Structure 1
Amino acid sequence: MKGTKDFPQCGFSNTVVQILKLLNVPFETLNILENEFLRQALKEYSNWPTFPQLYIDGEFFGGCDITVEAYKSGELQELLEKTMCS
């Protein structure tokens, strides 16, 4: 993401942080603004051009738009609950 969970540096990153906090799940962040190599590598790895990028249990889930829709539908909460119980 751009920034950290304590100091998001764009609105999309802040949105994802707020959703994860609402769901009360533990999560970590990487500030891609601090490392251009990491920023480019993650875009290639995920085949996703924008940030933030949400990974759940090591698998790419999506960006802010997908996270918001999955949160609204309840899909994100279900997936996170399954992952945390595994």
Structure 2
Amino acid sequence: MDEVQEAIKKQVDSHPVILFMKGTPQFPQCGFSMKASQALAGCEADFAYVNVLEDERIRQGIKDFGNWPTIPQLYVNGELVGGCDIILEMYESGDLEQLVRNAGAAQGSGA
């Protein structure tokens, strides 16, 4: 595993919920990243994020890491959940909130 993949793995393993996105939740740099971060916020998720625009190696490396071609990418408990469409579907069905709660990453969940 190369240096970039190791760095990504460390980030994924260090946070119960982490979103690899373009920009930040406060200043998203693409509509898909904005929708994904808003869905997490709507679940009152306490989530980490990585702005892939800050490092081209991470931007490409996360695609290889998850074997997923697009950004954003959401990981919960080290597992790839998916991209924007999946995140939004899960949000609408209530599954995203349950996943966040089960990961102990909901605000006020005591985790």
For Structure 1 versus Structure 2, the TM-score category normalised by the shorter chain is over 0.9
Out of 54, 61, 66, the residue aligned to residue 46 of structure 1 is 66
- Alignment partner, residue 56 of structure 1: 76
- Alignment partner, residue 34 of structure 1: 54
Instruction: Name the CA distance, whole Å, in 2 between partners of 1:54 and 1:5.
Output: 13
Question: 2:43·2:96 contact (CA, 8 Å) conserved in 1?
Answer: no
TM normalised by structure 2 equals 0.73
Instruction: Name the CA distance, whole Å, in 1 between partners of 2:45 and 2:96.
Output: 11
Looking at both structures, which has the greater relative contact order when contacts are Cα pairs under 8 Å and sequence separation is at least 6? 2
Q: Among all aligned residue pairs of Structure 1 and Structure 2, give the percentage whose two residues are the same amino acid.
A: 49
For structure 2, the 5+ residue unaligned runs are 1-20
TM normalised by structure 1 equals 0.92
How many positions carry a matched residue from both structures? Answer: 86
Considering only aligned residues, what root-mean-square deviation do their CA atoms show, in Å? 1.3
For structure 1, the 5+ residue unaligned runs are none
